[in-house]
Amino acid sequence: MRIRNPRDFWAGAIYLALAIAVILIGRNYPQGTSARMGPGYFPTALGSVLAVLGLVSVGRAFLRPGEPISGFAWRPLTLVLGATALFGVLLPRAGLLIALACLIAVGAMASRNSRLDATSIAALVGLVALCAIVFVKGLGVPMPLVGTWFGG
Amino acid sequence: MDVLANLALGLQTAMSPANLLYCLVGVFLGTAVGVLPGIGPIATIAMLLPMTFGLPPVSALIMLSGIYYGAQYGGSTTAILINLPGESASVVTALDGYRMARQGKAGIALATAAIGSFVAGTVATLLVALFAPPLAEVALRFGPAEYFSLMVLGLVASIVLARGSLLHALAAVVIGLALGLVGTDVNSGQARYTFGFPQLADGIGFVVIAMGMFGLAEIVANLEHEGSRSAAITRVKGLLPSRQDWARIVGPIARGTVLGSALGILPGGGAILASFASYSLEKKLSKAPEEFGRGAIAGVAGPESANNAGAQTSFIPMLTLGIPANPVMALMIGALMIQGIQPGPTIITEQATLFWGVVVSMWIGNVLLLILNLPLIGLWVRMISVPYHLLYPAIMVFCAIGVFSIGNTTFDVYLMVLFGLLGYVFLKLGCEPTPLLLGFILGPPLEEHLRRALVLSEGRAEVLLREPLSAALLAAATLLLASVLVPAIRKKREETFVSEG
């Protein structure tokens, strides 16, 4: 037995894991009857369908050959997602101005074409200023310009 | 004539200076985004959604629709000029449009696309005006069983029309349905799958999922394949097609319009499927099929008309049934719900101004596109040359602020990161995320209607088959699913999506 289709295999494994989680957590909710479905009825049904699909996918992975999974692009993945999460952390604490600057700077490192030069710094400052004006002043989104770390 | 009176009401609404301005802003932004590589209409509408919260519902929807068909148009511009389809429905346009551009006929190709889109848009707008009200009347008589079956049909269609493996599309729908469970159960008040987070009590925001899976995940995927692309852009001259060209595009435009209008109503990838279907139809009908792929003007005219018609008629199920035919329509439903309007059959009578205003604005938007875009082509060409590494940080900024502004909580920002990761894993495993989004949107109403139907029938599931309309819908869904499993059709389906490449 050899995995001939890694994409099917891992996709199936993810479906199975999700299905088990859905069903196990769903057991905490009253199931009810089909005439009076409880909050746990539909989730359990969905989880079961997903489990079947997961099993089929895993099973098929041993039968039908398929393409391998191309390598993860770890650098852009971590930098793009990391920069966004960092924005979430910094927004209330350091304020919008710093949070945006960090989001843009860290995010930009994900591309190998990015350069640290006068143009990109000007673009960064311009974008931050634009967002502060449009979203905070214009649309009134409640984001602090200066965060709690700096007494904002 | 009821239709005329209604259209007059719509005209009055859509022609008010403010709404005209929002329509203009919408098509302009939409075209710009369609031209810019790497941001699709879904991510754009999700990003710009927060900006429409302050607007009255009509204006918000007019602007969002403008963005949608503007993006379709912008996508074909890049497809023709640099062989880079700005969004997936224009992949087909690139086949012959780019060839034409290489032969010095870029202007004619662009004009053909514009004219085709305009004709198709006009016809499709009329179709929406004619068919939406009677459809809504039928829908008013729908009970929970019919609604449930209709949604099942919608989901099945989205699976069948999705790219790639059926199995994974089906799984994506189920995962979407499961994500829709998160939050407070409306019947019992029970909090489900909230993991103790009060922020999840109202469920996951669909913008969070859309921006994570279509915004962030796409950025990572684009960066993965980032090269040092320097686009050689052809000079655009000679916009007007000759009399000979006209003779060659009339047929394809007419056929594309009909085909696109019909396919646009179907859930799934309406506009995408429409352009492919039209391309293969024209190739079959052509006296010189060998010209296709080498700059056949019919290969631009047909698909462009088809995808614009499809984009427009996909509003029919959204406005009359409250059921989205594609993720963009799902976002529109979200926008309406944020405005406190529940899309569904009652919208036409209860929100007549909104409905007819939006319908007429679609046509006005098409006129605006036609008169705006040909002169502005120089601007779009310059926008194409914006390098991606300067563009994507701005997209990240708009995603982050956009998601935050909907609920004013950083929790949603973290959640979006999580969906960005899921979206990327999906891409890596070759699973299409679109069915997931549709499942997510339809999950809560699907469960709700199923529960109601079974309460009414005292727990007998046969009710779904005993009501004739519901049974017919379920039969259609079964047929659709079964047809894809027939080897011949299955092969055809795979070929269609392979050629998309």
Residue B500's pLDDT band, with cuts at 50, 70 and 90, is very low
Cβ atoms of B303 and B277 closer than 8 Å: no
What tokens appear for B473 in the block? 């819908």
A27 and A89 within one domain: no
Judging contacts by C-beta atoms under 8 Å, the chain A residues touching residue B178 are 18, 22, 43, 46-47, 50
ipTM of the complex as predicted: 0.93
What is residue A149's predicted lDDT score, i.e. its pLDDT?
Answer: 86
Among A54-58, B170-174, B182-186, B239-243, whose mean pLDDT is lowest? Answer: B239-243
A52 and A78 within one domain: no
- Of residues A10, A29, A123, nearest to B390 (C-beta): A123
List pLDDT tens digits, range B39-57.
Answer: 777 777 887 777 777 788 8
Nearest to A103 by CA among B301, B418, B395, B73: B395
Distance of CA B411 to the CA centre of its chain: 28
A144 and A88 within one domain: yes
- Residue B56 makes CB contacts below 8 A (sequence gap 6+) with none
Cα–Cα dist B176/B172, whole Å: 6
Three-state DSSP class for residue B259: helix
Count how many residues are written for chain A.
Answer: 152
What is residue B232's predicted lDDT score, i.e. its pLDDT?
Answer: 57
Sequence ranges of the domains in chain B: 2-500
Q: DSSP secondary structure string, B324-354?
A: -SSHHHHHHHHHHHHTT---STTHHHHTHHH
A55 and A108 within one domain: no
Nearest to B199 by CA among B413, B403, B414, B411: B411
Touching check for B196 and chain A: CB below 8 Å? no
Residue B501's pLDDT band, with cuts at 50, 70 and 90, is very low
CB pairs under 8 A between A and B: 181
Residue A18, in any domain of the structure? yes
Cα–Cα dist B28/B31, whole Å: 5
Cα–Cα dist B280/B278, whole Å: 6
Residue given tokens 């919260």 in the structure block: B53
Cβ atoms of B104 and B285 closer than 8 Å: no
- Of residues B50, B170, B397, nearest to A103 (C-beta): B397
Residue A116, number of CB atoms within 10 A of its CB: 11
A108 and A48 within one domain: no
Chain A residue closest in CA terms to B195? A25
- Of residues B178, B394, B461, nearest to A34 (C-beta): B461
- Of residues A54, A124, A141, nearest to B401 (C-beta): A141
Touching check for B216 and chain A: CB below 8 Å? yes
> Final residue of a domain: which of A63, A85, A105?
A63
Looking at CA atoms only, how far is residue A141 from chain B in angstroms? 6
Contact criterion met (CB < 8 Å) for B396 and A84: yes
Print the domain residue range for A57.
Answer: 6-63
A32 and A93 within one domain: no
> Final residue of a domain: which of A63, A86, A110?
A63
A140 and A83 within one domain: yes
Region for B104 from its dihedrals, namely left if φ exceeds 0, alpha if ψ lies in -120 to 50, beta otherwise = left
Q: What is the mean pLDDT of residues B434-444?
A: 85
Judging contacts by C-beta atoms under 8 Å, the chain B residues touching residue A131 are 397, 401
Touching check for B408 and chain A: CB below 8 Å? yes
> Final residue of a domain: which of A31, A63, A95?
A63
Judging contacts by C-beta atoms under 8 Å, the chain A residues touching residue B413 are 84-85, 87-88, 91
A91 and A110 within one domain: yes
- Of residues B219, B228, B408, nearest to A80 (C-beta): B219
Helix intervals (H) in B339-409: 347-350, 352-373, 377-384, 388-407
What is residue B499's predicted lDDT score, i.e. its pLDDT?
Answer: 46
Exposure on the CB side of residue B26, measured as CA atoms within 13 A: 29
C-alpha dihedral (B149, B150, B154, B155), degrees to nearest 10: -30
- Of residues B54, B188, B458, nearest to A35 (C-beta): B458
Contact criterion met (CB < 8 Å) for A53 and B451: no
Touching check for B244 and chain A: CB below 8 Å? no
List pLDDT tens digits, range B102-160.
Answer: 888 888 888 888 888 889 988 988 888 888 888 888 888 888 888 888 888 888 877 77
> For A46-84, b where at least 16 C-beta lie within 10 A, e where not — what string?
bbebbbebbebbbebbeeeebeebeeebeebbebbbbbb
Which one-letter DSSP state was computed for residue B191?
A: E
Residue A78, in any domain of the structure? yes
A37 and A10 within one domain: yes
List pLDDT tens digits, range B222-274.
Answer: 888 776 555 555 566 667 777 888 888 888 899 989 888 888 877 655 667 77
List pLDDT tens digits, range A20-44.
Answer: 999 999 988 888 888 888 888 889 9
Chain A residue closest in CA terms to B391? A108
Judging contacts by C-beta atoms under 8 Å, the chain B residues touching residue A18 are 175, 178
Residue B498, number of CB atoms within 10 A of its CB: 9
Touching check for B51 and chain A: CB below 8 Å? yes
Looking at CA atoms only, how far is residue A95 from chain B in angstroms? 12
Cβ atoms of B44 and B35 closer than 8 Å: no
Cβ atoms of B173 and B159 closer than 8 Å: yes
Count of the separate structural domains present in chain A = 2
List pLDDT tens digits, range B361-374.
Answer: 888 888 888 888 77
How far lies B267's CA from each of B176, B262, B279, B422, in Å? 16, 11, 20, 24
> For A18-30, b where at least 16 C-beta lie within 10 A, e where not — what string?
bbeebbebbeebe
- Of residues A10, A81, A135, nearest to B401 (C-beta): A135
A78 and A30 within one domain: no
List pLDDT tens digits, range B19-34.
Answer: 899 999 999 888 888 7
Touching check for B226 and chain A: CB below 8 Å? yes
Residue A69, in any domain of the structure? no
What is residue B336's predicted lDDT score, i.e. its pLDDT?
Answer: 83
What is residue A55's predicted lDDT score, i.e. its pLDDT?
Answer: 95
Cα–Cα dist B138/A88, whole Å: 47
Cβ atoms of A29 and B447 closer than 8 Å: no
A87 and A50 within one domain: no
Touching check for B185 and chain A: CB below 8 Å? yes
The better pLDDT of the pair A112, A53 is held by: A53
What is residue B162's predicted lDDT score, i.e. its pLDDT?
Answer: 67
Note the pTM of the prediction, 2 decimals.
0.84
Cα–Cα dist B83/B200, whole Å: 43
Cβ atoms of B80 and B380 closer than 8 Å: no
A80 and A55 within one domain: no
Touching check for B175 and chain A: CB below 8 Å? yes
Output the average pLDDT for chain B: 82
